[in-house]
Amino acid sequence: MLGSLAWILRRGNTNKVTICFSVCQTAIVLWIISQLMILFSVTEKQLWISYIIGNIGISTFSPVWLMFSSEFSDIKHKIINYAPVISFLSMIMILTNPIHKIYYADFGTGNITYGILFYVFQIIYYICIIAGITMMCIKHIRGKSRITKQIMLLTLSASVPMAVNTLTVTGIINVGIELTPLFFAFSSIMILIAISRFGLLNINRIAINDTIDNISGGVIVFDSENNLSYINKYAENIFRDIENFDMLRRKTGLDMDDDFQSGEISFESRYYNIKQSFCSDRSGSIMARIIIINNVTEYYELARTERQLSIEQERNRIAQEIHDSAGHTFTLISSLARMLKVRLSDNDEINECISEIDGLSRSGVTQLRCSINNLRDDTFMKSVTGAVRSIADAVRNIDIDLCIQGTEDERYSFCIRQVYDNCRETITNAMRYSDAEHIDIIIKFMSDRLEIYILDNGRGCKKIKENNGMQGIRRRTEGLGGTVRFSSVEGEGFTTIIKIPV
């Protein structure tokens, strides 16, 4: 017992767990010493001193064992902190026994008879030890077999001597000597194995376990039979209720044979990198299979972002090339057409053709700008207002006023593309045919429908003939269950009214 106590003091940490465990060991040592003293006691006084020392050990061990079990299993309650009160009351009753004779009814060198208080405190001691063992078992259940051998050794170290002591006190076993200290030697062996083999109370082991439990990565250990030996909190949150290596393989879908080193999986919308390694003994036999799990979702997201940036850069490059080449050509054609119109003002037929060229060029520039904006950035397609405003901003030769009435929300998102195409076609027609200088666009967000009014101040017409562009507007609108109306008066511009039900 002294050897195991020295081992604890040398390798243990100065925390509450180690202190309680050391006190338990010291209490057992006192009990054994008292039994040795009893063997050599001649007088009643010597016997009384021997029993006092033994009772100090007995009364201390059980309450402190309860405190140790509470700390070790992390099942804490305020009332457990008052357990030493049991030891204090017990010693008061023993020391004052000559007065009341309740603890020892008769105490002499030839005969010792136990009183009622003796049995009361024995029951209390047993309750403390059983409660401690129960806490150990609860930790074992919560830990899913991760510390089974430790729990078994610690439980046996307390339960075996307690059982022998019970049988001795009740007279079931009566061999003329006290067997309990002898079986505490058995407890000492169990405790020494727990300390040396499993690193119980070792500061390095405690620190390593705490560190592994709190790292942002998973660690799973399987024994030589591929049964789960250890799993930290991170891995447990990912792969719940795994008991052996085969269950992990089924969950990951990886063919993790002995040659497997690493691989990546997609699991519950996240990506993980899984690495496998082995721990071998001196003879080369595999003792454990170690699985390391890292979350690599961030790298997948970075790669996805990088691809999007590359695409965006290429779109911008193409858009710039189109703007510099085709855009310049359309603008030049439009400028030349206006110059010809001034010089040939007397020929109406030629002027009409030149106006057509000018309108086509300007509408071509507008459509080109819209396409360029679509290449560079499609964020304007997130709302009806943004889509229409992108068209208005692309027009240079005509003033456009955009008026928004009501509040837009997600209910109108279903028709963004159709509204964008309809408005672009209407403005293009105005630039191509009407010679308009100003366009008003009114968008009304109503509770049950969306209304769009597009009015220009161009030359208008007597009779409306729906061309392909206007037919496209009608087809798109009616496809959404809406209606479209075109109206015009010669010399007073052209009006388009679109109504789309929500």
Instruction: Give the model's pLDDT for residue 326.
Output: 60
Predicted confidence band of residue 259 (pLDDT cuts 50, 70, 90) = confident
Instruction: Give the C-alpha separation, 158 to 17, whole Å.
Output: 16
- Predicted confidence (pLDDT) at residue 98 exceeds the cutoff of 80: yes
The string over 210-219, giving b where at least 16 C-beta atoms fall within 10 Å of a residue's C-beta and e elsewhere, is: eebeeeeebb
Instruction: Give the model's pLDDT for residue 335.
Output: 63
Instruction: Give the model's pLDDT for residue 447.
Output: 92
Do 215-295 and 387-502 fold alike per CATH?
no
What torsion, rounded to 10 degrees, do the Cα atoms 465, 468, 470, 472 define? 150
Specify the CATH architecture of the domain 387-502. 2-Layer Sandwich (3.30)
Instruction: Give the model's pLDDT for residue 185.
Output: 67
Q: What is the pLDDT of residues 21-70, one digit of tens each?
A: 888 888 888 888 888 888 888 888 999 999 999 899 889 988 998 998 88
- Predicted confidence (pLDDT) at residue 377 exceeds the cutoff of 80: no
Average confidence (pLDDT) over 134-151? 65
For residue 367, is it left (φ>0), alpha (ψ between -120 and 50) or beta? alpha
Instruction: Give the model's pLDDT for residue 40.
Output: 87
**Per-position DSSP letters for 303-363, written without gaps between them:** HHHHHHHHHHHHHHHHHHHHIIIIIHHHHHHHHHHHHHHHHTTT-HHHHHHHHHHHHHHHH
Average confidence (pLDDT) over 302-307? 84
Average confidence (pLDDT) over 112-126? 89
Instruction: Give the model's pLDDT for residue 363.
Output: 59
The residue among 363 and 291 whose pLDDT is bigger is 291
Average confidence (pLDDT) over 292-307? 87
CATH entry, 215-295, from 3.40.50.300, 3.30.450.20, 3.80.30.20, 3.90.1150.10: 3.30.450.20
Instruction: Give the model's pLDDT for residue 195.
Output: 59
The residue among 294 and 360 whose pLDDT is bigger is 294
Q: What is the mean pLDDT of the chain?
A: 81
- Predicted confidence (pLDDT) at residue 327 exceeds the cutoff of 60: no
Instruction: Give the model's pLDDT for residue 469.
Output: 82
Average confidence (pLDDT) over 125-148? 73
> What is the domain partition of the chain in residue ranges?
2-207, 215-295, 387-502
Task: Give the range with max mean pLDDT: 24-28, 181-185, 195-199, 470-474.
Answer: 470-474
Instruction: Give the model's pLDDT for residue 341.
Output: 64
Instruction: Give the model's pLDDT for residue 407.
Output: 93
The residue among 116 and 324 whose pLDDT is bigger is 116
- Residue 223, phi then psi, degrees to nearest 5: -75, -175
Least confident of 119-123, 276-280, 363-367: 363-367
- Tell me 227's DSSP state: B
Average confidence (pLDDT) over 468-476? 89
- Predicted confidence (pLDDT) at residue 360 exceeds the cutoff of 80: no
Q: What is the pLDDT of residues 193-233, one digit of tens each?
A: 765 555 555 556 666 777 787 788 899 999 888 888 888 88
The residue among 61 and 177 whose pLDDT is bigger is 61
Instruction: Give the model's pLDDT for residue 200.
Output: 57
The string over 280-309, giving b where at least 16 C-beta atoms fall within 10 Å of a residue's C-beta and e elsewhere, is: eeeeeeeebbebebbbbeeeeeeeeeeeee
Instruction: Give the model's pLDDT for residue 402.
Output: 94
Instruction: Give the model's pLDDT for residue 174.
Output: 74
pTM greater than 0.85 (yes/no): no
- Predicted confidence (pLDDT) at residue 325 exceeds the cutoff of 60: no
Instruction: Give the model's pLDDT for residue 156.
Output: 76
Q: Return the residue matching tokens 């709190």.
A: 214
3-state secondary structure of 454: strand
Predicted confidence band of residue 368 (pLDDT cuts 50, 70, 90) = low
3-state secondary structure of 177: coil
| Amino acid at the residue 302 | L
3-state secondary structure of 26: helix
- Predicted confidence (pLDDT) at residue 375 exceeds the cutoff of 90: no
Instruction: Give the C-alpha separation, 478 to 466, whole Å.
Output: 15
Average confidence (pLDDT) over 344-350? 64
Predicted confidence band of residue 362 (pLDDT cuts 50, 70, 90) = low
Contacts of 172 (CB under 8 A, 6+ apart): none
Predicted confidence band of residue 16 (pLDDT cuts 50, 70, 90) = confident
Instruction: Give the model's pLDDT for residue 457.
Output: 93
Instruction: Give the model's pLDDT for residue 373.
Output: 62
- Which two three-digit tokens encode residue 346? 């007397």
Predicted confidence band of residue 434 (pLDDT cuts 50, 70, 90) = confident
Predicted confidence band of residue 403 (pLDDT cuts 50, 70, 90) = very high
State the number of CA atoms in the 13 A half-sphere of 254 facing the CB: 21
